[in-house]
A = this chain, B = another copy of it.
Amino acid sequence: MEKPYVIGIDIGGTNTIFGIVDARGVILNNDSIRTWDYPEIEAYIAALTERLRNMIQQAGGPELIKGIGVGAPMGNYINGNIEYAVNLPWKGIIPLAKLISEMTYGIPVSVTNDANAAAIGEMTYGAARGMKDFIEIALGTGVGSGIVIGGHLVYGHNGFAGELGHVIMRRENGRLCGCGRHGCLEAYTSATGVARTARELLEQRSDPSLLRRLDPETITSKDVYEAAKQGDALSLEIFELTGAILGEAFADFIAFSTPEAIILCGGLAKSGSLLLDPIQRSLDKHVLSMFAGVKLLISHLKESDAAILGASALGWESKG
């Protein structure tokens, strides 16, 4: 009999959330710990796997679990390590898959980064079911991506492929990006990039806007969304600018792998047509005509579940 469950673990800079998932994408049970409560990796693994073992026993035992998938910053699918993640407590190279598997009855553990996990989750349970070729773009604090070609996630030669947040969109006077370079897609179209666009426009101009009621230093992309929904012209313009750059970027991505669809997930994707419409306009303008017709979609996974579901989907690929 096929084993009926997988476990998904999402390691974030704040929380680590995890749950048991069935083949239809139902989360049967979930739990979390605070990542930074454990500055030592040994203590973190001990706390995490104690909860996991309880969860596994409640589900009926390890023989029912096909695999454990982990989404983590700088998670490397090829070797199962986390390598030099800047926003996690543990420095250097952490053999995460090995450490977890040793403490969870030897169940096979696969690791990748969160955007790749989101793409596999989308293919297994979401908007990309049945698709062989698509690109998942995660618009969150940063811009992540997971590229699926021929039904397989692209990991590349070193296990870290698919960093589309770091293609250069502005080569002259580009914004400084967290990676230390200038002009990256992420610097413009992440949630923080959108907030930065808001601050720049508010400072450069004097036209009225609902955003002027807020402290510019603490404006978030959600504030811009709320104002845009109320018809605020400046906020709508921010979505137009953000969508324009995404459309330009997508035209280049399509020249690379010509997916069936580009699927947006992450907090900013909840803006729906406020963001999709400007992207579509820009994409139509910039895409090579032979590549017209690529679908632009919003993730079908509920954001609260997406991280666990994405990571868990990796578990189905296990040989265990």
Interface residues of A (CB under 8 A from B): 84, 132-133, 147, 149-150, 152, 154-158, 160-164, 166-172, 179-181, 248, 251-253, 255-260, 286, 288-291, 294
Contacts and interface: CB of A to CB of B under 8 A. Distances in A.
A190 to B, nearest CB: 15
A156 B252 contact: no
B181 A286 contact: yes
Contacts of A172: 172
For A84, A149, A160, A291, the residue with the greatest tally of chain B CB atoms inside 10 Å of its CB is A149
A256 B164 contact: yes
B286 A166 contact: no
A158 to B, nearest CB: 6
Stoichiometry (number of copies): 2
A180 to B, nearest CB: 8
Contacts of A152: 150
Contacts of A286: 168, 181
A150 B153 CA distance: 10
Given A147-B256, A288-B181, A251 B168 contact: yes
A166 B288 contact: yes
B258 A256 contact: no
Contacts of A253: 256
A164 B158 CA distance: 22
B288 A157 contact: no
A133 B149 CA distance: 13
B170 A156 contact: no
Contacts of A171: 169-171, 248
A230 B157 CA distance: 39
Contacts of A180: 289
Contact of A256 (B155, B251, B256, B288): B256
Nearest to A292: B158
Given A152-B150, A157-B133, A168 B256 contact: no
A183 to B, nearest CB: 10
B160 A290 contact: yes
Contacts of A84: 290
A215 B209 CA distance: 59
Contacts of A259: 156-157
A291 B149 contact: no
A157 B166 CA distance: 24
A255 B163 contact: yes
Given A161-B256, A164-B256, A166-B288, 5 more contacts: A133-B156, A158-B290, A163-B288, A167-B255, A180-B289
Nearest to A135: B256
A179 B252 CA distance: 14
A82 to B, nearest CB: 13
A156 B257 contact: yes
23 contacts: A147-B257, A149-B150, A154-B256, A155-B258, A156-B257, A157-B294, A158-B258, A158-B290, A158-B291, A161-B255, A161-B257, A163-B288, A164-B256, A166-B255, A167-B252, A169-B171, A171-B171, A171-B248, A172-B172, A179-B288, A181-B286, A181-B288, A256-B256
